[in-house]
Structure 1
Amino acid sequence: MVGNLSDSGLALLKGPAHRAARRRWKRTADVLSKWSGAASQADPKEAARALGRLLKRVANHDEPGFDGLAAMAMYHRGNALSNGALRDEAIAAYDELSDRFDGSDDNLLQVIITLALFNKAVDLGKLGRTQEAIDTYDQVLQRTDSSIDPILLNQAAMSLLNKGVALGELNRPQEESATYQALINRFGDATRIEFQRTVARAQVFQGVVLGQLRGLNEELHAYDRVIDRLEGTADVELNTTLAMALIKKGIVLGWMGHTDAEMAQFERVVQRFGAETTIELQTQVAMALLCKADSLHSVERMDDAIHVYDEIIRRFHATSDPSLGRWVDLARESRAQALANTSS
């Protein structure tokens, strides 16, 4: 986005009278570019301090083009504070940005404000201020209602998804399901991969809610829609969602007493993704194997269950990833319990 500012900000600083301002603008943009990228992730608190100093430098510039720099500095300072887990301060930074520029008719400034509002909503959610997060997602949705800008449309899709999750946290399942459906209706036919990813996740989340509201058959149908939609995709994130849908379908089939069909879903995940090297898909494979082993354990097929627990440990014991390691730890615990049951 700093590149966009280069195009728009420098375009306003034409002619000899603005030569010095152009040099100041470029120096400021270079600093902003440095602290809005990887450096912000690596050292968020230092990034927040550096961007705060940058804001003081551009606060009183009255030359054209500097408002965009100030807005970007506020936005990225908020991001840095959030990355440093200083969420209240991040929210204050986003509010300062919105208060200062919300009346502007500059389209780029309005885009930055919308991005800031989305990030504010995420931080509110992480602070447990769930209703405030929902209200802020609604602000994003209102601002993007008629947009055709891909960046803003992505914010709208993610706002609907996150709003649905937040409604679920407040135990409002009918509103939660309706929010996912609004997302599916609006973006279900979109061809851009980021929208496909968000829609697929919404379908899985909606499946869980439909199980609560309408019963297990409706939940199964929801997962089947996801599976049909994603079968054959090469995208890692979509395949991760596909694996989630298969696992959830297997769990529901188990609840319904269809043990063979349950096992078949878990085995589909292992066969389809067992050779994948990404942590996301390895985690889904480990989860599918653990679900399979636990199901075998529950019907007292202890030797078979122990064999699958051993497979999880063999496959993933050397991982350094905490999320994947968690499934290995659970496999070890369950294996010990199965052995105890066998010997008793």
Structure 2
Amino acid sequence: MKFKQIVIIDKTGLQDWAIEKLSKLSENPIKIYDDVPGSEEEAAIRIEEADCVFVSWSTQLTAKVLSNAKNLKYVGMCCSLYNKESANVDIDFANNHAITVKGIRDYGDEGLVEYVISELIRLIKGIGEKQWKKDAVELTGRKIGIIGMGATGKMLADRLQAFGAKLYYYNRSRKPQAEKDGIKYLPLNELLESTEIISLHLPKNTNILGEREFKQFGKGKILINTSLGLTFDKSAFDKWISAPSNYGIFDGDGMGTFRDEFDQLENIISSEVVSGWTIEAQERLSKKVLDHVIEFIGNKENNL
């Protein structure tokens, strides 16, 4: 089985070797776009002839966009798919129109974790322009909370334990393996009150911290967010970060649409770079995306 027309709608990070393999699965030459469509209308035009589309997190495949591709059978998300609420593809529309949507997980964690630890060490030791406390301190003995104990949260916790930090976590469901590894579970309010530093690793469109939670977290603290966009109430965060003793660490994803504003704030360390977007991450992404589409084709052939 082959697709008639594969379209790569934006800059997905798929490596050349993966695109070469995909080309063998398309009857017509693959249409490849290397930029983000500027509107729904443009996105719809790009995929109107496609029966297979690959998309990054940067483009929204809404019902309006998907409905323009009358022959669409498969959408390969070159990004994480946690649930339909956080997806940039209209999962309900796809399900109702027999369009298979496959996302991936755990491809950029290593680079992201390296960024978090690097910027955290620079801040607490005053290696860069900012210093957390009056005197430089170590990670040894620091009380650090992880909110969202998925693959990224667990990897970060493991790395921080090697530095001698004391790790705590909050998650919607308990993680027995994490607790076996010495990472203590705390309810959210206790986590915020008990820790000095928290790192947020949550799906897109999650809002877990409001004014009450920031008050519980208090002053003299560090908040790290490398999730896809803000995972907290913006106005409550604005009040919290206005305290001179509070600091925020964000990467390109974590700032969401507030990059320009956050870049102006004295107590925020930020980067335009998406910290997990390394060549190694793109290799892992390419392999997982390719594995999914090959599995889809195999299943279709077996059902003929």
TM beyond 0.5: no
Q: Compare relative contact order (CA 8 Å, sep 6+) and give the higher one, 1 or 2.
A: 2
Q: Which has the higher helix share?
A: 1
TM-score (norm 2): 0.31
Q: Which has the larger radius of gyration?
A: 1
